Amino acid sequence: MDLKFKGGAELVHLKIDRENKKVQVSSSKTFYKFQPVDWSMLFDKGKEKLQDKITTKLDDNRFKLCLIMSMAKKGYVNVPC
């Protein structure tokens, strides 16, 4: 699953492999090169286990919607890949 978000001048690109619980991020912090990050990065700090348990049950579209809503709370908008 590929997702892109824009917040101000920042562009963040996520590559998510839900089956293997792997995430790669590309942003200005990584000089726009994909870097692996911990799966828990997708969830709110302190709620990682609970949110992971809940979202594991969701299909890809609902999982994607949860991420879009979470990023929107942080000021990012989803943009087409």
Which residue ranges make up each domain of the chain?
Answer: 2-79
- Express each pLDDT in 5-27 by its tens digit: 999 999 999 999 999 999 999 99
Considering the entire predicted model, what is its pTM? 0.89
Cα–Cα distance, 8 to 11 (Å, whole number): 8
pLDDT tens, N- to C-terminus, the chain (81 residues): 999 999 999 999 999 999 999 999 999 999 999 999 999 999 999 999 999 999 999 999 999 999 999 999 999 999 998
Q: Please, what is the average pLDDT of the chain? A: 96
Tokens linked to 1: 């699953």
- Beta strand residue intervals within 1-81, DSSP E: 2-7, 10-17, 22-26, 35-37, 77-79
CA atoms within a 13 Å half-sphere pointing along the CA-CB vector of 1: 18
